[in-house]
Amino acid sequence: MAATRSRKGQTAVYSIVILWVLISLAPVVWMLLQSIKPAAQVFQIPPVWFFTPSLQNYRDLFSTTSGTQFGHYLLVSLTVTICTVLLTILASVPASYALTFMRVRRPNFWLILILLASMLPPVVLLVPLFQLWNDLHLLDNPVALILTYTAMNIPFTVWLVRGFMAQIPRELRESALVDGAGDIRILLQVMLPVVKSGIAAAAIFTVISAWNELLFAVLLTTDNRTAPAGIVATLISDRGINWGKLYAAATMVAIPIILFTVAVQRHVVRGFTFGAVKG
């Protein structure tokens, strides 16, 4: 009796979860299908469910004669994302180390400040940052995006990595110091291996946020757009939109993120729960 009940329970539990997965992934699957439909059938109603898949939309998207800059946008996105992640980690991890292990004056004050900074809605800095980059003649330059995104991601990264480091006993550093190791060596050889999953989680969140960001991308760039900003600009400005091409572009932005998510989901879940648990 108990066994059948639990089997019934399991069936119910799986049905609920699978139902959610089906509903929430249906729009994503639809997007992928639209992108490989022949352009003429993309907007046909009733929808064409069975069609000969074609990569024509993608060929149009990247063809040099079509006038779209999408290849360039993708390259900008890639550059901005990679540089943002590297800079964020490079600036944040040593800071987390210092705030965890070194005798900083008023450490709690700094931590609260970092926490507040991570809560700040980016739109609050919209006007002054636009003026700053304008004054520095860096509008439409990926450098402005990279530095802006880095600044937006440092507070949370410091907070998350510090949470992981705080679990390491302080004696580990002290004994290494006694052995004559410097802090740089301790950070690189002792701490990094222990907190690497925390750093991975922080890096993943930074990748996602830099790749997906739209507000500053549409504000600070005109020609050197990131891919999401490029797509949205096409959507909003153009009259005769080629929807097949737009779907191909949307898919090109989505696919790397989906693959990335599948590849790193273990760290993401860890970071999510740890971030929430550690606040």
Partner 1 sequence: MSSVLIRSEAEPTPVRPPSGTRVPQKERWAAFAFTLGAVIILVGLILYPLLDDIRLSFSRLSPGVSTPWVGLRNYKAVLTDPGFWASVWVTARYALTALILEFVIGFGLALAMARIVRGGGVLRTLILIPTMLTPAVAAINFRNLLNFDSGLVNYFVTLLGGQPKAWLADSGYSFAALVLTDVWRSTPFFVLVLSAGLVALSPEMIEASELDGAGGWQKLRYIQIPMLVPLILVTVLFRVIDLFRTFDTVYTLTNGGPGNATNVVAMQIYNDANVGQYTSYAATEAAVFMVLTLVVSVSLIRVMRSQR
Cβ atoms of residues 225 and 76 within 8 Å: yes
Looking only at residues 90 through 129 of this chain, which bind partner 1 when binding is defined by CB under 8 A? 90-92, 94-95, 97-105, 107-108, 111-112, 115-117, 119-129
Cβ atoms of residues 229 and 218 within 8 Å: yes
8 binds partner 1, rule: CB under 8 A: no
Cβ atoms of residues 46 and 259 within 8 Å: no
**DSSP string across 194-234:** HHHHHHHHHHHHHHHHHHH--HHHHHH-SSS--HHHHHHHH
> Interface with partner 1 by CB under 8 A: which range of 19-27, 49-57, 62-70, 194-202?
19-27
Amino acid at 117: A
66 binds partner 1, rule: CB under 8 A: no
Cβ atoms of residues 219 and 126 within 8 Å: yes
Of 1 and 119, which has the nearer Cβ to partner 1?
Answer: 119
Angle value at C-alpha 22, between 20 and 26, nearest 5 degrees: 120
86 binds partner 1, rule: CB under 8 A: no
At closest approach, how far in Å is the CB of 82 from partner 1? 17
At closest approach, how far in Å is the CB of 129 from partner 1? 5
At closest approach, how far in Å is the CB of 51 from partner 1? 15
253 binds partner 1, rule: CB under 8 A: yes
> Interface with partner 1 by CB under 8 A: which range of 48-56, 57-65, 68-76, 260-268?
260-268
Looking only at residues 147 through 206 of this chain, which bind partner 1 when binding is defined by CB under 8 A? 147-148, 150-151, 154-155, 158, 162-163, 166, 183
At closest approach, how far in Å is the CB of 236 from partner 1? 8
At closest approach, how far in Å is the CB of 254 from partner 1? 5
Give the integer Cα–Cα distance in Å for 77 and 142.
9
Cβ atoms of residues 39 and 242 within 8 Å: yes
From candidates 82, 181, 200, 215, binder to partner 1 by CB under 8 A: 215
Number of neighbours of residue 46 by Cβ within 10 angstroms: 5
